[in-house]
Amino acid sequence: MSHATGMKYLKGGVLPHMWCSGCGIGVMLGALLRSFEELGYEREDTVVVTGIGCTGKADDYLITNALHTTHGRALAYATGIKAFNPKLHVVVLMGDGDSVTIGGNHFLHAARRNMDLTAIIINNFNFGMTGGQFSGTTPGGMFTQTCVYGNPERGIDICALAEVAGANYVARATPYHVWEMKTNIKEALSRKGFSVVEVYSPCPTNFGRLNNMKSTPDMLHWLRDKGLPVEEYKRRKSPEKEGFFAVGTLVDRNEPDFNERYDRIRAIAQQC
Amino acid sequence: MQGNQAIAEGALYAGARFYAGYPITPSSEIAEECSKRLPKLGGMFMQMEDEIASMAAIIGASLAGAKSFTATSGPGFSLMQENLGLAVMGEVPCVVIDVQRSGPSTGLATKPAQSDVMQLRWGRHGDQSVIALCPATVAECFALTVQAFNFAEKYRLPVILAPDEVVAHLRENVTIPEPGELEVIERKKPAGAPERYQPFAADSDGIAPLAAYGDRYVFHVSSSMHGADGYSNNSPANATWRVAQLHRKIEIHRDEIVRTKAFDAQDADVLLIAFGATTRASRAAALELRKRGVRAGVLQLITLWPFADKEVAVLGQKAKTVVVTEMNYSGQVAGEVRKVLGSGADLRRVNSFNGQIITPKDILKTIG
């Protein structure tokens, strides 16, 4: 069996892409387009919604429907699209700035509503497009251009946030675990309700450079050495977890999504 | 019925089937009415997490094919500016109701004002044009809401209806027209080969056809500078064309858009210029002046933007005295009238900015 390439969703003549060498966004996009192909998505039935930042540039490479929105608001736009036409596959590509820094409120409420959206979040722990400032996910003590003495704030755990806010499906992936990433993206696309795949992504240009991971291999080694399978991560007690993170499916549940619940409301309203 | 209720009725009459909003006084009755009516019609009411999301959701729904709208007031309207800019840039039809209340900031939250006039026009970053309408009666709340949707659909842009709190909470008798009685316009859809569809390639009328996500026409819409195909395009030549195009489509249809009403204004020596609730006080004042032998009349601005410069010029140049009545301190409309009539005109202002309406007596004092 030949493997899906995802090329049928890619705009011709746009490669090489604009992302830096070593960046994980291209790897994610490849996994996403292969997933589309394997799931039989048509360009006409698919809408890719992007925000602003490095990840927000992704729609320029695609020939599906697309909406390139404002910073942090992609989920709210996607909510309007999906709410009005539930037949569409609506995929939202965001960075850590879009999703849980400026757009944190929309993230909470898209998860709480359990909107049938797939949110893929490239988390590179900094604002890359603007030159490398700290974001809502930059860990405490790490260095960026606006915290050269160390980050006084703490970073938020996107997957934990998605879980408590009510997402149906939550997974973490990395470009080192590229095969598993595609599996998680396909699962996320296939699940009803709000699905989140957080992709820990190397940013050697702006993040690694200031944090003792100057090269792309340095950053990939970090993902390889610190990323543990979910079961292994859960098995470990607190001190042994320090500095490690779980890779794989963290939440998989089947609560009714917003459109299903609104259909029930319509049925009641139409009886009154 | 109440002004806000008439706005909801007007939206449903125009075919709106998607509402997203966040509760705020004095606009909440619109949301409440929509929450009851839309699910019955197979439409959808969404209460969003804030006004930023509300504006985003109605744009998303519009691109999925809905006639969509939201309603808010001062602080919420401020939050909507960011995504209103996307509706302009992406040429997305939608309607925003801004029930004008007193500011600045939270201000006198339940009291009326007409102080968003300049925000309607210039509230967003980046130079851009929009259409803004203002009703003075409950019947106009209904009719102008239908008109707002018609303009939005026809010209592919956001249209703002900006009643003041007085008119939004006023109760008057209104006859709702039968379906088909008022014209209801639908957006121009693409025809022809899907692979050749360009979502920003305007026809000779300045308007490009708009597909809906899920149609066989696949398309991109972007907040960033884009070409006719919807993809990023940063060339100076393209930006020149795009920005001019966004303004030009309003300019070339200006005479179809701008609406005013004149009351005894043709022979007026004293011309009162008003909009919204101040129209009512101005008309009462003009009638009183006529009784006293002064030839007074009223020019009501229904379209706030684009500004009724020609109409103001025709009547304003004939009058000896022009009086602009408005519920704001700065004279936001008076400034526009001054631009039209020049520095030599006898232009007077009647303003209130304490949450109290302008009365006929206030106006008569100015003319004295």
Q: What torsion, rounded to 10 degrees, do the Cα atoms B255, B128, B329, B313 define?
A: -30
Residue of B nearest to A103 (CA): B53
Which residues are CB-neighbours of A256 under 8 A, at least 6 positions away?
Answer: A114, A192, A193
Question: How many contacts does A have with B, using Cβ atoms within 8 A?
Answer: 137
- ipTM, two decimals, is 0.97
What are B250-263's pLDDT values in tens digits?
Answer: 999 999 999 999 99
Contacts of B40 in chain A (CB under 8 A): 266, 269-270, 272
> Between vectors from CA A89 to CA A86 and to CA A91, what angle results, nearest 5°?
120
The closest alpha carbon to B282, from B267, B268, B298, B269, belongs to: B298
B85: pLDDT strictly greater than 80: yes
Please give the tally of structural domains in chain A.
Answer: 1
B368: pLDDT strictly greater than 80: no
Give the pLDDT of residue B244: 97
| A182 touching chain B per CB within 8 A | no
Q: Do A79 and B214 touch (CB under 8 A)?
A: no
Give the pLDDT of residue B239: 98
| A260 touching chain B per CB within 8 A | no
Q: Do A68 and B222 touch (CB under 8 A)?
A: yes
- Please say whether the beta carbons of A119 and A194 come within 8 A: yes
B42: pLDDT strictly greater than 90: yes
Give the pLDDT of residue A3: 82
Q: CA B362, CA B368: separation in Å to the nearest integer?
A: 10
What are B296-329's pLDDT values in tens digits?
Answer: 999 999 999 999 999 999 999 999 999 999 999 9
The closest alpha carbon to A106, from A86, A76, A134, belongs to: A76
Read off the DSSP letter of residue A77. H
Q: Do B64 and A81 touch (CB under 8 A)?
A: yes
A1: pLDDT strictly greater than 60: no
Q: CA A143, CA B21: separation in Å to the nearest integer?
A: 40
| Mean pLDDT over the full length of chain B | 97
The CATH number given to whatever domain includes residue A105 is 3.40.50.970
> Per the domain annotation, does A140 fall within a domain?
yes
Q: Which candidate from A59, A68, A78 shows the least CB-CB separation from B60?
A: A78
CA A122 to chain centre: 5
Where residue B210 falls (left for φ over 0; alpha for ψ -120 to 50; beta otherwise) is beta
Q: CA B352, CA A79: separation in Å to the nearest integer?
A: 41
Q: State the average pLDDT over residues A212-231.
A: 97
Structural domain for A216, as ranges: 18-229+240-271
What are B108-134's pLDDT values in tens digits?
Answer: 999 999 999 999 999 999 999 999 999
> Per the domain annotation, does A13 fall within a domain?
no
What chain B holds in terms of domains, given with CATH numbers, is: 3-168 (3.40.50.970), 259-367 (3.40.50.920)
Q: CA A70, CA A119: separation in Å to the nearest integer?
A: 16
Q: Do A84 and B46 touch (CB under 8 A)?
A: no
Q: Do B216 and A44 touch (CB under 8 A)?
A: yes
Where residue B230 falls (left for φ over 0; alpha for ψ -120 to 50; beta otherwise) is left
- Which H or E run includes B89? helix B74-89
What are A59-98's pLDDT values in tens digits?
Answer: 999 999 999 999 999 999 999 999 999 999 999 999 999 9
R_g over Cα of chain A: 18
| A148 touching chain B per CB within 8 A | no
What are A137-166's pLDDT values in tens digits?
Answer: 999 999 999 999 999 999 999 999 999 999
> Per the domain annotation, does A112 fall within a domain?
yes
CB atoms within 10 A of CB A149: 7
Closest-CA distance, B260 to chain A, in angstroms, reads 35
